[in-house]
Amino acid sequence: MTKKINTKFTKLLKYYNLINYNLIYDNQAINRYKKNKSNISGNKELLLKKLEISIENIKNCELKKNATDIVFADGHPDSKIMIVAEGPGASEDEEGLPFLGRAGQLLDKMLHSIKISRDNVYITNVVNYRPPENRKPTSEEIKRYTPYLIKHIEIINPKILILLGTTALNAIFGSEEVISKARGKWITKKIGNCSTSVIISFHPAFLMRQPDQKKMAWIDLKMIKKKILDLKLKIGK
């Protein structure tokens, strides 16, 4: 019960007081701490809260039944860069935020390698509840949550959309797509009412299992850095 209350309290702080997380990068472990309140448009804030509530109200969802709580998003809603991954793991399920475990630490370092901090991007998942035993979401679960993801993308309206892993790829481009063939290139795509530049790359959890693929992920990261420069996006301060 205490864990549930703490999770709810964290979410209330996040969406009503608009607290984000800053990151310190060095050769040691990454530390997260609260930073100053960010300013986002009131309309976008309301739309995001409405979307979160609509996801919480999904009926007859096995993911929801087995999870501790919803894991909606993290980062800055006015960011021009949006990251979509698969779904919450155990740490994320407990804290109510995406990418908090070892995969999250690797993602933080990947972003830092191209001079981007976590609080200057916006992060969410295809499914917002932890799949049991950290399994991959089923095709039916992906299909059920994709309309909410599309709405999420519409609200954020990013200039750059980064899809990490097969689940995110399949949600946006269909189940026939294979990440090894889809990654490493830019695709201009209209998602709902949002027209954006999409790039697909490997999920950090996959990179931890297959470290030899990190060289391919580094190519993708350099492409993202170049796209930011080409679009003249201001990231951070």
Q: Which residues contact 106 (CB under 8 A, 6 or more apart)?
A: 204, 207, 208
* Residue indicated by tokens 């917002």: 128
**Positions of the chain with pLDDT lower than 50, given as ranges:** 3, 5, 9, 12-38
237 in a domain, yes or no? no
Whole-number pLDDT of residue 41: 62
CATH of the domain at 40: 3.40.470.10
236 in a domain, yes or no? no
Structural domain count, the chain: 1
Cα of first residue to Cα of last residue in the chain, in angstroms, is: 39
Amino acid at 110: M
The whole model's pTM is what? 0.83
The whole domain housing 119 covers 2-231
| CA dihedral sign of residues 91, 92, 96, 100 | positive
Scanning the chain, the segments in alpha helix (DSSP H) are 2-16, 42-56, 62-66, 90-95, 102-113, 139-156, 166-173, 179-182, 204-209, 214-231
70 in a domain, yes or no? yes
Distance CA 66, CA 10 (A): 20
